[in-house]
Structure 1
């Protein structure tokens, strides 16, 4: 069965020194003994040192992105092999900021997923609708298309390395948060579509995280939904006390 994950996406924040200060705070403050998988995703420049810093702890390290090619003339990019070489085994793919600012299409994201899985990496795959999609009652279609184009070419076996992060774009960094009812509706829809495409076992084994202005004050209510398996946390992941409180809210 699926398990609970709380992942912190640090985005373009924290220098080398600030990264290690925050890691020390997390080591001190994060609860022990809880059956929650904790992941942090610092900047590329700090991934290798973060892995070394967290050796012997229960905190894992993920990358925020990677290129779909194995290597080559792609200035400024990072490959799956490079990530694996510093013992990073998980990568976030398809975040709305990558889709919007860097024009990453579903086809590009599908290629990235294929490359990550070819290197035995785990993928946290982000999907989510914009405000206009929700207002136009098209949000279910948007999510269905993102799942279909980004992931539904995979085999059942490959889904063992897939985690979904549902992040409504209108709730990321805006202070707006989907209601618990909206979140459960979307997560249940995602799980039903996975079951429809594959089977009940794949659907019930896939962790589906929620992201979008999750904070200590709303985490417990959001995570209480039966189809919510934790969160992909943005701003609150940069504050040790807040991130620890969110981890504590997860079951």
Structure 2
């Protein structure tokens, strides 16, 4: 495996309300890629991806997750991201959200469209309620534990699944979670976004392949992709394929 420059150790950005946002930034040549983690994880879930993707990248623990604190007010995730980017003097970037991280980016793109060089969503309901997607495709919402709903059976049997379990358990222990998001977002917020890439796992029972097909109809300009060996967490289930997908998105900018 090719070794890329190490992502620096976490730094902290202080929000106006006292919240502390933990982030890691690797600078370099080319567009900066900003990755938003899912509800079941933290920024550490991108570790395997960042050993495979070598470009400039920003990851952060969203408010209420990982090493980031909640603060005094219910600031939105999009507002937090805007403040963090301003602090780091990042005017434009490529943004990718996994699952609930996508809701953060829909809101951000609505607020700051000129900051978006490209936009990617993996296994994300695109800022819409999950129930609307299940009604659209007439599929049943999956039951079971978070692990059973989000991970493929094959990945759950591997040693690599242990880190995911630790993150999810820690989030549960700390009652991690974000303030209310801008959801449902206006679907038209993404209509003019390009490049726009939308992907899901072939084994995803939450944002299903049928939903991906519906998303393509809603956003014809989007390039869609299926991660053949993943369910709802492709960045940990198949980091090789996920990093390749990221590189393809960035190459379109």
**Which interval holds the TM-score relative to the shorter structure?**
0.3 to 0.5
**Which of the pair is proportionally richer in helix?**
1
